[in-house]
Chains A and B, each alone.
Chain A
Amino acid sequence: MRAFTYERANSVEQAAAAMATPGAKIVAGGTNLLDLMKLQVETPARLIDINRLGLDKIDDMADGGLRIGATVRNSDLAADERVRRQYGVLSRALLAGASAQLRNKATTSGNLLQRTRCSYFYDVTKPCNKRSPGSGCSALAGANRMLAILGASSQCIATHPSDMAVAMRALDARVETINAGGAIRSIPIAEFHRLPGATPNVETTLKSDELITAVMLPPPPPGVQIYRKVRDRASYAFALVSVAAVVDAANGRIRSARLAFGGLAPKPWRVVRAEETLLGAPANASSVGAAADAVLDGAQGHGGNDFKIPLARRTLHAVLAAATQA
């Protein structure tokens, strides 16, 4: 690990200002950052600890939604009685991620900002445009079984590894930030993560002095909530494909459906057109097939991950069958 200075922020504005200085990084849970620092994938010169800023609260909002503080631990969020009862897709997604020990440390904002687990990003001896811009992408013709089939570019095919963010995407969460001057911004989660394009090293739309303070959930949407994760092991593995679904159906017809996918793209993937095809549609294989076509429009495998295209399709069928028969 490279040398760094360590300091504890006294306020969110101070943390945001410090964050904008060269080589500075925020640390909260540290479960991803410390891992990357040990490998020298991340080499911050200055670490700013935000764990004692009181950002660990979950508050009811006037509109019936929830405001989740940036440093609420994943385990606490998953176990919160309101989340379990009203946002089951989020609780289940959180519980699908990592291990209990990691969830006891990992935070809401850190989960959103975690880096890809593409093995070439982790291997500092290999080219990787995300880690070392301009060096090339080793994954395109390499081991790409875990990597993206949607939203990728010729520069990077990394996936975003979060389960939590996929559920938040289905719930239309908003990310609240504050900058050094105290200005607050609320970013729809759909616009929070960027696609790689020519700059895969730039992963979010956060500005350099913008600190995440909370994630806001709107009031719970109607319908059944499901998080289905398909992975290589039954537990403690990243998603090959995951689906966060909120489906309102009755008498064999779908009134509305929200479908967000993990494991397929550089960000939680949601296709409005796919959801529109299901509005008022009968809950059957043909409707779901049309929705799957819309989700997978433009999907491209890279050899090792070709299987994700049929796997995503089948997972969507399984999820919607479960949601409409419940």
Chain B
Amino acid sequence: MSGPWPSSEDTSPGNDRLDLTRRAALEGGAATAAVLEAGAFAAPASAKAAEPDVQSIPLSVQLQINGGFHQLSLDPRTTLLDALREHLALTGAKKGCDHGQCGACTVLLDGRRINACLTLAVMHDGQSITTIEGLADGETLHPLQAAFIEHDGFQCGYCTSGQICSAVGMLRESCLGMPSYVTADLAQPHPQLTDLEIRERMSGNICRCAAYPNIVAAIRQAAEQPS
């Protein structure tokens, strides 16, 4: 999927170039050969025409994160994920695929789970964001955090903060009666949260260690707890 990005023009924040280098190394010789012979298609013609004049002007953004207000000055290209990780040192939300496919970057925006990698921080001026760092109440873990530990709902842990934030959002959706693809009767106002429902509703969070059975068990326990 990756291509040769002109390095002199790439000033994007974060570690895009690092990712690319790693990806190219993993793909090995084939990727390199493809890059060399296909340079002509590196960028659409329209982009070349539009690009030289454009300057990134930092914009002022206020974000309410885990209850506290933060005033930032950001290149408009900064994703919400990079704003959290690179500008606010909140590294709980992880950068996995950086393309909305793995769910490791899941955070809650005004209580709703989203992929922080696929949205720009400047789009969320004045909005409220909750990350994994904001879930516990002092030393008391959020019920989902405690349940993940109790049920061993992880192995390497890289996806875990995204899994837990996603599960918090998912349980809220379930409380609101929102249906899923596997809900048999869509007209039913409060579908029951079966294991099948949990699995379908959590499909946007990938666990490469495949801790899925324990993740489902942890979420089921938290769902059954009175909150």
Contacts and interface: CB of A to CB of B under 8 A. Distances in A.
Contact of A51 (B12, B56, B123, B176): B123
Contacts of B40: 135
Interface string B42-86: 111111011101111101000000000000000011010000000
A30 interface: yes
Contacts of B79: 34
A38 B211 CA distance: 30
Given A100-B173, A100-B204, A95 B179 contact: yes
A128 interface: yes
Nearest to B165: A101
Given A40-B43, A95-B179, A128-B41, A88 B186 contact: yes
Nearest to A122: B1
Interface stretch (A73-81, A175-183, A191-199, A313-321): A73-81
Contact of A119 (B1, B179, B180): B1
Contact of B203 (A38, A124, A236): A236
A6 B41 contact: no
Interface in A81-125: 81, 84-85, 88, 91-92, 95-96, 98-102, 104-105, 119, 122-125
Nearest to B199: A235
What 4 A-B pairs have minimum CB-CB distances, sorted nearest first?
A99-B204, A43-B47, A23-B50, A124-B3
A188 interface: no
28 contacts: A1-B12, A1-B16, A1-B77, A4-B77, A5-B57, A6-B59, A6-B120, A23-B49, A27-B120, A34-B79, A38-B99, A41-B44, A43-B44, A47-B120, A79-B178, A85-B187, A91-B179, A91-B186, A92-B181, A98-B204, A100-B166, A100-B180, A101-B166, A102-B100, A123-B1, A125-B3, A126-B34, A236-B203
A238 B195 CA distance: 23
Interface string B201-217: 11111000000000000
A300 interface: no
B73 to A, nearest CB: 13
B96 interface: no
B115 A95 contact: no
B167 to A, nearest CB: 11
Given A40-B43, A135-B41, A105 B203 contact: no
Max count, chain B CB within 10 A of own CB: residue among A45, A81, A127, A135: A45
Interface string A289-310: 0000000000000000000000
B4 A30 contact: no
Nearest to B206: A236
Interface residues of A, number: 57
A85 B3 CA distance: 46
Contact of A38 (B98, B180, B201): B98
Given A81-B189, A104-B114, A43 B100 contact: no
Interface in A52-82: 75, 78-79, 81
Interface string A1-30: 111111000000000000000110001011
A277 interface: no
Interface of A: 1-6, 22-23, 27, 29-31, 34-35, 38-41, 43-47, 49, 51, 75, 78-79, 81, 84-85, 88, 91-92, 95-96, 98-102, 104-105, 119, 122-128, 131-132, 135, 234-236
B153 to A, nearest CB: 18
B135 interface: no
Contact of A49 (B1, B123, B169): B123
B151 to A, nearest CB: 21
A22 B48 CA distance: 12
Contact of B178 (A75, A102, A123, A125): A75
Nearest to B113: A101
B177 interface: yes
Contact of A5 (B54, B166, B173): B54
A131 B44 contact: yes
A124 B11 contact: no
